[in-house]
A and B are shown apart, each in its own frame.
Chain A
Amino acid sequence: MWKQPAPANSSFNEYNTFPLPQTQRGGQSSHAHGPIGHTQQPLVTGTSVLGLKFDKGVMIAADNLASYGSLARFRDIQRLHPLGKHTLLGVAGDMSDFQWLKKELDGLLRSEDALALTDSHPSLSPKNIYELLSNLFYARRSKMNPVWNAVLVGGWDKVKEESFLAYVDLLGTTYTAPTLATGFGAHLAQPLLREAYEAKAGIDGEGPLLTQEEAEKVLDDCMKVLFYRDARSINKYQVATITAGGVTISDSRSADTYWKFAEGLRGYGAQTQ
Chain B
Amino acid sequence: MALYHNPPMAYAQEPTTAPIEHRFNPYSDNGGSILAIAGSDFSVIAGDTRQSEGYNIQTRYARKVWQLTDKAVLATNGFAADGNNFVKRVKQRLEWYEHAHHKPMGLKSIARMIQTMLYGKRFFPYYVYNILGGIEEDGTGAVYSFDPVGSYEREACRAAGAAQSLIQPFLDNQIYFKNQQPEPGAAPFIPGNLPLGTVLSLVVDSFTSATERHIEVGDGMEIYVVMKRGRTTDDLLGDNKLAPGMTIEELPSLGESVGGVESEGEGQGGERTFLVRQALKRD
B42: min CB distance to chain A, Å: 29
- B5 touches A (CB below 8 Å): no
- A127 touches B (CB below 8 Å): no
Interface string of A173-187 (1 = CB under 8 A from B): 111110000000011
Our pick among A30, A142, A146 for the contact of B18 (Cβ within 8 Å) is: A30
B-side contacts of A141, CB under 8 Å: 24, 26, 81
Q: Complex Cα distance A144/B123, Å?
A: 13
- B84 touches A (CB below 8 Å): yes
B-side contacts of A190, CB under 8 Å: 56
Contacting pair A172 B81 (CB below 8 A) = yes
Contacting pair A173 B19 (CB below 8 A) = no
Of the listed stretches B57-65, B130-138, B152-160, chain A binds B57-65
A-side contacts of B58, CB under 8 Å: 167, 173, 175, 177
Contacting pair A177 B84 (CB below 8 A) = no
Q: Complex Cα distance A31/B53, Å?
A: 31
Interface string of A50-85 (1 = CB under 8 A from B): 000000000000000000000000000000000000
- A15 touches B (CB below 8 Å): no
Contacting pair A142 B26 (CB below 8 A) = yes
* Closest A residue to B20 using CB positions: A12
- A271 touches B (CB below 8 Å): no
Our pick among B22, B59, B85 for the contact of A172 (Cβ within 8 Å) is: B85
- B28 touches A (CB below 8 Å): yes
Interface string of A9-46 (1 = CB under 8 A from B): 01110000000000010000011000000101100000
Q: Which label, helix, strand, loop or mixed, suits the secondary structure of the A interface?
A: loop
* Closest B residue to A203 using CB positions: B282
Interface string of B45-63 (1 = CB under 8 A from A): 0000001010010111110
Contacting pair B24 A40 (CB below 8 A) = yes
A115: min CB distance to chain B, Å: 26
B-side contacts of A41, CB under 8 Å: 22
Contacting pair B24 A146 (CB below 8 A) = yes
- B115 touches A (CB below 8 Å): no
Contacting pair B53 A173 (CB below 8 A) = yes
Contacting pair A138 B81 (CB below 8 A) = yes
Q: Complex Cα distance A167/B57, Å?
A: 13
- A129 touches B (CB below 8 Å): no
Contacting pair B81 A177 (CB below 8 A) = no
- B30 touches A (CB below 8 Å): yes
Contacting pair B56 A171 (CB below 8 A) = no
A-side contacts of B175, CB under 8 Å: none
- B6 touches A (CB below 8 Å): no
B-side contacts of A146, CB under 8 Å: 24, 26
Our pick among A12, A142, A171, A177 for the contact of B59 (Cβ within 8 Å) is: A177
A-side contacts of B20, CB under 8 Å: 10-12
Our pick among A11, A24, A187 for the contact of B56 (Cβ within 8 Å) is: A187
- B16 touches A (CB below 8 Å): yes
Interface string of B12-47 (1 = CB under 8 A from A): 000010111111101110100000000000000000
The verdict on A173 contacting B24 (CB below 8 Å), with A30-B18, A203-B282 known, is no
* Closest A residue to B23 using CB positions: A40
B27: min CB distance to chain A, Å: 8
A10: min CB distance to chain B, Å: 7
- B80 touches A (CB below 8 Å): yes
B260: min CB distance to chain A, Å: 31
* Closest A residue to B26 using CB positions: A141
Contacting pair B60 A177 (CB below 8 A) = yes
Supply 7 further A-B pairs (C-beta < 8 A) apart from A30-B18, A177-B60: A12-B20, A31-B21, A38-B24, A40-B22, A40-B23, A177-B61, A190-B56
Q: Which residues of A contact B (CB under 8 A)?
A: 10-12, 24, 30-31, 38, 40-41, 138, 141-142, 144, 146, 167, 171-177, 186-187, 190, 203
Q: Which residues of B contact A (CB under 8 A)?
A: 16, 18-24, 26-28, 30, 51, 53, 56, 58-62, 79-81, 84-85, 124, 282
| Closest 9 pairs (CB-CB, A-B) | A172-B81, A175-B59, A177-B59, A173-B81, A175-B58, A12-B20, A141-B26, A186-B56, A175-B62
